[in-house]
Amino acid sequence: MADPSPGDDVIIIKGGSLEIHCGKNHKDCFGNSDSDGKYQHKNGDAHIVKVEVRGKSGQPLLSQSFDSGDQPEIAITYK
């Protein structure tokens, strides 16, 4: 399967300071949080199509593609 996530549409979550980088095609991708502190992408019809975890060198440690009927949930423990 071809890479389902063009580089300009990738959302990157970085550890350390817990940064979230929206892709070039959707720089302002998150609205305001709700009363529970949840943020949702402004494009509610979009789906996660790929998750890739990279090491410090940028090399993939894990890479998995998804379709709209099999959406992942990603849990990040931040301490």
Token pair 């379709």: residue: 67
User: What is the model's pTM?
Assistant: 0.62
**What confidence tens digit (pLDDT) does each residue in 11-70 have?**
777 766 677 777 777 777 777 778 887 777 777 777 888 888 999 898 999 999 988 888
Q: Where are the beta strands (DSSP E) in 15-73?
A: 19-21, 50-54, 60-65
Return the pLDDT at 63. 92
End-to-end, the C-alpha distance of the chain in Å comes to 36
